[in-house]
Structure 1
Amino acid sequence: MTGVLLGTHLPRGVTRWQDAAMAEPASDADLLAQAGRRAEAAFGEIVHRHGRPLYAVAYRWLESPADAEEIVQDAFLLLWRKRARVVLVGDSALPWLIVTVKHLAANRRRARMRREQHERRARLEPRFADLDDERGAVADLLRRAFAALPPLDAEIARLCLLEDVTYAEAAARLGLTEGAVRNRLSRARTRLRRSIDEQGTEDAP
């Protein structure tokens, strides 16, 4: 499924659900039951109905617009993947979505707290103090390159590149999806290479 956006925006190429045969608006259960080419348009109607209240719930938990939007998108993606077997309360997907958003947001908040604790410890404990001069110069180059990354991207890069943690393990620790870890790590690698190259050029005699 194409990316889900908040508010009145629907998946790319998807129009609002319309069915002239229905006198009343279709229930969420009816929309999730649609198949084939009608499925994405029907799901887009669910996004339109529930995107804003879900964003409000996520924001109350995380107090970050970017994190709240990402959590809501992850919740809709989970609903899309599980739509054939999800059990709704009545005919509305909203209760299921709210529970999912709260669960994802709680994971993200715990991961944020663990990351902040790790960053505090890292500031108090020199990580490269025992290296010789040559290795210390390389370590300093890496430290500066990592410091230039956004905190979450730096933590993903540290886990996956320095500690050799798998995507799945990093996602579980940080309260992200594996897809988010892959995308952020790809961007982090590009920025690290660019930063190291630029620093190497500046330090060259």
Structure 2
Amino acid sequence: MSESGTRTDAELVAAAAGGSEFAFRELYRAYARPVFWLAHGLVGTRADAEDVLQETFLAAWRKLPGLELAGESLLPWLATICRFQCANRIRRQQRDRAHLTAAADDLLPDTVDVERQVIEAKLVERILREVGRLGELDQQIFRLCAAEGYAYQAAADELGVSHGVVRNRLSRIRTQLRGTIEPEGT
């Protein structure tokens, strides 16, 4: 997302880095859902994903003063923090597993699940990279429809464009994403 209301992510980041809780809340509202789903795909449970979401935004809050936003969207940076938080959580669970073998066994995914999660994480990273290269309107359409689950008309109303614009652009975005991410050896 490049804009929240009328302020860009860069403006919101600068305000939040200066201590504005309102600006940070705007960033949280904009990105909590995609960060949650990324975490859920990596850690596998809703409870762990909710914890990782909170840990991700807490780490982001602490790191905002030194952040220079590279693109228009804060999402790739948050996704990187989220992946680190997920890795930390999985490592902690593995340590706990060594100490509490029977109880922790049920909480951890098996090796096949971990491999699938790594593959999915790499795919999400490539998708986020490609989405970051889209124009501002296309990024907003992708965020609303693909990441937040908006219907075409709801996204159109939110963005002030027609239903057809959302439908056609999202179709083009999906085709473009498929074409750019499939060759990388999935």
TM-score by length of 1: 0.44
Larger radius of gyration: 1
Larger helix percent: 2
Q: Which has the higher contact order (CA 8 A, sep 6+)?
A: 2
TM-score by length of 2: 0.48
